[in-house]
Structure 1
Amino acid sequence: MMCACAWGLWLAEKEEERREQTLGELSRTNRLLEASLAENAGLHAQLLAQAREAGVLDERRRMAREIHDTLAQGLTGIIAQLQAAEQMHEVPAPWRRPFDAVKNLARESLAEARRSVDALRPEPLRTARLSDALADVAGRWSRLHGLAVHVTTTGTALPMTPEAEFALLRTAQEALANVAKHAHATRVGVTLSYLDHEVALDVRDDGRGFDPAGLDTDDGSPPPRCGGFGLTIMRQRVEGLSGTLRIESEPGAGTGISACVPTLPAGSHA
């Protein structure tokens, strides 16, 4: 039989093992909690940024529409009436100078109103089409990271809302940021495709890839590769426009992110 001294020593050892196991579990739980808090803080920050971004975009959109629907349309009507009057009756010589001055002023004001509408479009879409803006973003990314990005546009450009253009541009920027952070890629491609009723953006790389199923973790650990935050924001932004976002990847086989948003109906204008 085990003597009292040995029994006590054995109990002490078991108690120490249980204590160390408990401490280990507590340490692991704390690490998972810290990771979860960091993830939540990062997501919260990005959601706030997205809300501010959306608020600014909505206000710009409202102002642009107001200028277009009131000032620009009113000036267009004035110019049309002046032209109709000129076609119906010969403008008397004493009136010709002020008549032409009014016409020119209306045209200049209309051009200024249209410039104001364009200026309210988000950077870098103020002075460029979406395809050109994507090429500019890819070029700056390439210069920063020393890796060429092949940019391709297919199909005929279709009318889109500024929000849709903005969403696709931000998706490309976020996807390229993820490539730089995680992919270790040697080739990157960005494709903008104008289809019948939607516009698709694809960003693909030949990097190390990841398991998309791991993006939704149940143990509180941070998701791999894209960190979860960027993809969450991308998905919310695209799906908020009745679009779709797909992620295709597997370890060692690269990653593809595809976003599709609907175009405006035929005859509509952004």
Structure 2
Amino acid sequence: MAREIHDTLAQGLTGIITQLRAAQRVEDSDTHVALALDLARESLTGARRSVAALQPHQLDDAHLPEAMTTLARDWAQSTGVDLHVEVTGDRIPLSPAIEVTLFRVAQEALTNVAKHAGATRAGLTLSYTGAVVLLDIRDDGTGIHDPDGRGFGLSSMRQRLRGVGGSLEIESTPGEGTAVSATVPALQGNPR
């Protein structure tokens, strides 16, 4: 993401500043102001594109339970691992930040199951419990030898969750599978 910001926004803003400084030094500044406006429009378009790329397309027209079901179905088809999905509690529309975070955590956890666990079965449970929403992903695979490890995927999940006031817990025993549990506040969003 840092590279994307550098390559689009920072360069666009640098160009705008350069054109506005040039406009300050000349009598007929219209050309420089016009170039600065064009650069500003291009930078805004690039920023919008970058933000849109961060939003999972599965959440475009669906709330989290539907998006998770689609994610799980597609993941099970591509991996051949039997995946059971369950949604419990009274579903409420969550804030977009919470939904994106839980969706990305589920993606990362399922990616880890596919890459490392050697699992034959897995489960994904999304639980609405009032003040918090819980996401649990468990598998019957090889387990994690160091659940407190600092691998990129685990660190990324922890950071995402901390960013919305959530937390991550991992329980694993070598040879007996892994359970990844994410907890976030049930901050409501607008109904779609």
Provide the residue aligned with 1:260 in structure 2: 183
Structure 2 CA distance for aligned equivalents of residues 213 and 202 of structure 1: 15
Structure 1 CA distance for aligned equivalents of residues 147 and 141 of structure 2: 18
Task: Kindly state the Cα deviation for residue 235 of structure 1 after the two structures are TM-superposed.
Answer: 0.4
Q: Over aligned residues, Cα RMSD in angstroms? A: 2.1
Provide the residue aligned with 2:74 in structure 1: 140
Provide the residue aligned with 1:208 in structure 2: 142
Provide the residue aligned with 2:59 in structure 1: 125
User: TM-score, length-normalised on structure 1?
Assistant: 0.49
User: TM-score, length-normalised on structure 2?
Assistant: 0.68
Pick from 113, 129, 150: which aligns with 1:195? 129
Deviant stretches of 4+, over 6 Å? none
Bigger share in strand: 2
Task: Kindly state the Cα deviation for residue 212 of structure 1 after the two structures are TM-superposed.
Answer: 2.8
Provide the residue aligned with 2:84 in structure 1: 150
Contact kept in structure 2, 1:211 and 1:250, CA below 8 Å: yes
Pick from 208, 229, 251: which aligns with 2:152? 229
Contact kept in structure 2, 1:175 and 1:203, CA below 8 Å: yes
- State the secondary structure of the residue aligned to 1:212: coil
- State the secondary structure of the residue aligned to 2:141: coil
Bigger share in helix: 1
Pick from 225, 233, 244: which aligns with 2:167? 244
Unpaired segments ≥5 residues, structure 1: 1-46, 53-119, 217-227
Mapping of residues 70-149 of structure 1, within 5 Å? 122-149=56-83
Percent identity over paired residues: 47
Matched, 1:166 2:89: no
Unpaired segments ≥5 residues, structure 2: 6-51
Which entry has the higher C-alpha Rg, 1 or 2?
1
Provide the residue aligned with 2:120 in structure 1: 186
Structure 2 CA distance for aligned equivalents of residues 214 and 173 of structure 1: 19
Task: Kindly state the Cα deviation for residue 215 of structure 1 after the two structures are TM-superposed.
Answer: 1.3
Task: Kindly state the Cα deviation for residue 156 of structure 1 after the two structures are TM-superposed.
Answer: 0.4
